[in-house]
Amino acid sequence: MKCDLASQRRAERMMVASVETILKASAAISILVTVGVLYVLITKTFDFFEQIPPSAFFFDTVWTPLFETKRFGIWSLVTGSLLVTSVAMITAAPLGIMASIYLSEFASPKIRGLVKPLLELLAGIPTVVYGYFALTIVTPGLMKIIPHLSGFNALSPGIVMGFMLVPTVSSLCEDAMYKTPRYLKEAAYSLGARKLSTIFLVVLPYARSTIIAALFLAFARAIGETMIVAIAAGLKPNFTLDVRQPIQTMTAYIVQVSMGDTPQQSIEYLTIFAVGATLFLLTFIFHSTSKIILRSRFTVTT
């Protein structure tokens, strides 16, 4: 009897231990994913640089790996990405910040509860659908207003992406503004401040670091965004700052190569990993800056 109980206990303990091991192993898989991403990008990029000298990659502005005369200047893809991203940020930043001011400072609780989830919808639409919007509706519309706008351009996908990113900016900002301690606002009011000056001198400074973090986050998303630019920005690597011209982003280049049949280990195949590594590095910098700002902010306030 006693012996029975003891063995039962032992079995129970083993079961508990094994369950914990299984759970721990599942959690560890996410680390393996990161290791996998880094391994793939690094090894393939090394393979790439064995055939192409780094100087041809970093100090050239012409990107033509798919042509007869191959050149590998990454800068025309990077500027393409940054150009679209800039347009997106110029659209998303004012809209997102002002929308959050409206939601946290002006809107009634009822409207706030209604508009917030509706804005989140913008982030839930598949990006391929946004690409369709940009190419078939927004670009033709813009062509009527803007002379010399090419059918593929950086402007239209940038604007559409900006609208997609509004909830990315506004949900973080709105939370931070809404959390402005009541006593700070009341102190301002008691000193005779109007609502407007309270917003600019109390609420916005209070939310400042979160606003900056939200903008960094949106920037990281914009650089990594693929389908909108693959559909509406064109496939022409172009070292330019003119938003009316067709360009190609890093992401769109990877899509272009993937849609074709490039033999494995060919230089064309390796380029997508070199471009992917560049993209990864850029998004990682912006994304972690955003997270670092957010984290340090929370440790200060709580």
Partner 1 sequence: MAAFSEQDFLSTANEMKEVESARVIVGITREEKNAQLVERIFRLLCLSAAFLPLLILAFLVGNTVISGLERIDLDFLTGFPSRFASKAGILPALIGTFYLMLLTTIIALPLGVASAIYLEEYAKDTWFKSLIELNVTNLAGVPSIIFGLLGLELFVRALGLGPSLVAGALTLSLLILPVMITATREALKTVPKNLREAGLALGGTKLSVTLRVVLPLAMSQIITGAILSIARAIGESAPIIVIGAATYLAFLPNGLLSEFSALPLQIFQWVERPQADFVENASGAIVVLLAILAIFNLSAAWLRHHKEKSRGSL
What residues numbered 58-117 form the site for partner 1, per CB under 8 A? 94-99, 101-103, 105-107, 115
Q: Which of residues 259-288 bind partner 1 (CB under 8 A)?
A: 259, 264, 272-273, 276, 279-280, 283-284, 287-288
Q: Which of residues 28-57 bind partner 1 (CB under 8 A)?
A: 28-31, 33-34, 36-37, 40-41, 44
In angstroms, the CA 162 to CA 148 distance is: 22
The SS3 call for residue 235 is coil
- Residue 278 CB neighbours (<10 A): 19
Query: For residues 153 and 251, which CB has a smaller minimum distance to partner 1 in the complex?
Result: 251
Residues 119 and 170: beta-carbon distance below 8 Å:
yes
Q: Does 214 bind partner 1 (CB under 8 A)?
A: no
Per CB under 8 A, the list member of 155, 172, 227, 243 interacting with partner 1 is 227
Of 265, 80, 255, which Cα lies nearest the Cα of 157?
80
Q: Does 6 bind partner 1 (CB under 8 A)?
A: no
* Residue span binding partner 1 (CB under 8 A) among the ranges 1-9, 48-56, 70-78, 224-232: 224-232
Query: For residues 75 and 102, which CB has a smaller minimum distance to partner 1 in the complex?
Result: 102
Q: Does 149 bind partner 1 (CB under 8 A)?
A: no
Of 148, 151, 154, 159, which Cα lies nearest the Cα of 135?
151
Q: Does 136 bind partner 1 (CB under 8 A)?
A: yes
Per CB under 8 A, the list member of 49, 132, 178, 239 interacting with partner 1 is 132
Contacts 24+ apart (CB under 8 A), 132-138: 132/231, 133/160, 134/159, 134/160, 134/228, 134/231, 134/232, 135/231, 135/232, 138/232
Of 113, 134, 110, 130, which Cα lies nearest the Cα of 122?
130
Per CB under 8 A, the list member of 131, 157, 158, 246 interacting with partner 1 is 131
* Residue span binding partner 1 (CB under 8 A) among the ranges 47-55, 60-68, 126-134, 239-247: 126-134
Q: How far is the CB of 24 from partner 1 (least distance, A)?
A: 6
Per CB under 8 A, the list member of 11, 14, 23, 146 interacting with partner 1 is 23
Per CB under 8 A, the list member of 87, 89, 172, 223 interacting with partner 1 is 223
Q: Using alpha carbons, list the distances in angstroms from residue 89 to 14, 109, 161, 230.
A: 54, 28, 9, 18
**Nearest 10 degrees: Cα torsion 128, 94, 241, 130:** 10
Site string for partner 1, 169-208 (x = CB under 8 A): -x---------x---x--xx--xxxxxxx---xx--xx-x
Query: SS3 helix, strand, coil % of the chain, rounded to 5?
Result: 80, 0, 20
Per CB under 8 A, the list member of 56, 62, 122, 143 interacting with partner 1 is 122
Q: How far is the CB of 51 from partner 1 (least distance, A)?
A: 18
Q: Does 155 bind partner 1 (CB under 8 A)?
A: no
Whose tokens are 């049949």? That residue is 261
Q: How far is the CB of 143 from partner 1 (least distance, A)?
A: 16
The SS3 call for residue 63 is strand
Query: For residues 6 and 19, which CB has a smaller minimum distance to partner 1 in the complex?
Result: 19
The contacts of residue 267 (CB under 8 Å, 6+ apart) are 48, 51, 52, 65, 70
The contacts of residue 89 (CB under 8 Å, 6+ apart) are 162, 165, 215, 218, 219, 222
Per CB under 8 A, the list member of 135, 173, 214, 215 interacting with partner 1 is 135
